Structure 1
Amino acid sequence: MKLISWNVNGIRACVGKGFLDYFNTVDADIFCLQEIKVQEGQIELDLPGYHQYWNYALKKGYSGTAIFTKEKPLSVRYGIGIRTEEPEGRIITLEFETFYMVNVYVPNAKRDLTRLDYRLEWEDEIRDYLQELDQLKPVVFCGDLNVAKEEIDLRNAKSNKGNSGFTEEERGKLTDLLACGFVDTFRYFYPEREGSYSWWSYMSKVRERNIGWRIDYFIVSTSLIPVLKDASIHSEVLGSDHCPICLEMDIPEKTAIMNLKSGQIIEVE
């Protein structure tokens, strides 16, 4: 099973920059988008073989998420838990037979950190929500988390300490989440790899010089570790200030369920 996550920074603009070429070539089983920046009816994508789920922000040209999946989910949720009113369109959860797929676009604390308190409260809510889901089935959690966890995850760590996306508070929230039974899949496979980033400023020559941040993640329940195959960052793919990231797993699609405690795959009728 191949999963893709990509902050497209406006799906209409990204389509004009080759989105569909990449989408068709990568042939993902599940394709998650963040920052779609559209309202219902503003774009129609012809994606044969995929079910489409969109969570639009109320504010025009802002935020929003989407998931395209080959397999129809058992259920779909917008927002966190029973709180389905979500004006910024930041969360979609799909339930499959063997796991939950949660796609998020985490709020930015803003350059002056005026939204930091809101963001930290949001982080607490999403952590509690993921833990609740994990009690039922393993969780695959992906998206633009708007934080570089460690110094290795951005080019200029020293000069960015305390800046939005690299504050102690934001980094601490991600550390707290991982401590609750989740794993950062890219660092699971490549704990010491440097220069692997998923976002670059639009400033001149920044991307060419690879002055970037790794702020896009696939995070999964630790019970899924036995079925992980690889995690990768497709930095060569243009079309947004972010690039796509990929997770590959060996989860059977219809003929197995997960033993939540051991991660062992058990066949079912």
Structure 2
Amino acid sequence: FEDYYLTCVYVPNSKQELRRLDYRMVWEDAFLAYQKKLEEKKPVIYCGDLNVAHQEIDLKNPKSNHHNAGFTDEERDKFTAVLNAGMIDTWRYFYPELEGVYSWWSYRFRAREKNAGWRIDYVITSKALESRLEEAKIYTEIMGSDHCPVGLILKDE
């Protein structure tokens, strides 16, 4: 796009027994460095499955999932580093305390029917786009996958 970069991403999953956690930590650092390099030219937006529930309100059962892939302290700390690097989690920008809105549900145990999910799909933007943020979306009503789409509406300049 003329006034920003758009990157769609799938962040590596740390897997059972966290066997890919070390790989993921290296990947996270490299990806953030890449986004910050792009940002030197123009703002960035990246979106997709980031495979992390950042806060306890981003998943239904935080206590029983602590230390599981997607909710380890290490993964959450890397996401905090993204925010500290001047990026915006657009959903939490608009809904800082809203609970019970998720973007992924296991196919097992009728999780979606029970809304026992995780918010692991995000739209992240550069701070430079803050004035253009109009609305963040999680389209929970759209079926067809264990994930639902997420979106962002920007104001015209």
Distance 1:246 1:127 in 2: 21
Q: 2:153 matched to which residue of 1?
A: 248
User: Which of 126, 129, 140 does residue 235 from structure 1 map onto?
Assistant: 140
Q: 1:122 matched to which residue of 2?
A: 27
TM-score where L is the length of structure 1? 0.58
Distance 1:172 1:203 in 2: 28
For residues 108-159 of structure 1, the C-alpha deviation after alignment (integer angstroms, 9 at most, x for no partner) is: 0001111000011000000100111111100001010000000000000011
| Distance apart, 1:204 and its partner CA | 2.9
Distance 1:154 1:193 in 2: 11
1:168 maps to 2:73:
yes
More helix by share: 2
| Distance apart, 1:106 and its partner CA | 0.4
1:99 maps to 2:12:
no
- The structure with the larger Rg is 1
TM-score where L is the length of structure 2? 0.98
Q: 2:105 matched to which residue of 1?
A: 200
| Distance apart, 1:251 and its partner CA | 3.6
Point out where structure 2 has 5 or more consecutive residues left out of the alignment.
none
Q: How many residues align?
A: 157
The 3-state SS of whatever aligns with 2:110 is coil
What is the RMSD of the two structures over their aligned residues, measured on CA atoms? 0.8
User: Which of 170, 174, 182 does residue 87 from structure 2 map onto?
Assistant: 182
Tell me the amino acid that sits aligned with residue 194 of structure 1. Answer: E
Tell me the amino acid that sits aligned with residue 243 of structure 1. Answer: C
Distance 2:123 2:156 in 1: 15
Give aligned-pair identity as a percent: 56
